[in-house]
């Protein structure tokens, strides 16, 4: 895992914006990886799934998930979920923050504060 904070997400996502504002407001340097702009090749979904579980990463509440065909949502397992997230990055819960051996999915100011204390 990276020694420098890396924030993964999509720039027009409100939660990602809040996380970026929090990091910048607290003077924390980070690299932002936008799934749509920077692509999925460098996104370590397999490692994240190993560390957190694929079900933590998959955003079942997303518009993208709801729009999937029933056959794509049926019988999900790790491999199929990762394949779907790679093909549809908006299926990944946002943001994902990677820093100093920690992985954080979603944004809550108190969790970020605890991480960077």
Active site residues: 13
Rounded Cα distance between 11 and 115, Å, is 22
Least Cα distance to 82 among 32, 44, 42 occurs for: 44
Angle at which helix 78-87 crosses helix 45-52, to 10 degrees, equals: 140
CB 37 within 8 A of CB 11: yes
Least Cα distance to 98 among 31, 35, 10, 39 occurs for: 31
Rounded Cα distance between 82 and 108, Å, is 25
């Amino acid at each position: 895992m990276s020694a420098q904070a890396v924030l993964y997400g999509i720039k027009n996502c409100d939660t990602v914006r809040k996380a970026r504002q929090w990091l910048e407001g607290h003077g924390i340097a980070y690299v932002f990886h936008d799934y749509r702009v920077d692509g999925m090749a460098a996104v370590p979904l397999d490692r994240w799934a190993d560390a957190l579980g694929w079900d933590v990463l998959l955003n079942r509440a997303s518009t993208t998930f709801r729009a999937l065909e029933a056959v794509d949502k049926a019988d999900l397992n790790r491999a199929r979920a990762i394949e779907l997230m790679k093909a549809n990055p908006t299926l990944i819960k946002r943001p994902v923050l990677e820093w100093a051996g920690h992985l954080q999915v979603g944004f809550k100011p108190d969790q970020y504060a605890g991480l960077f204390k």
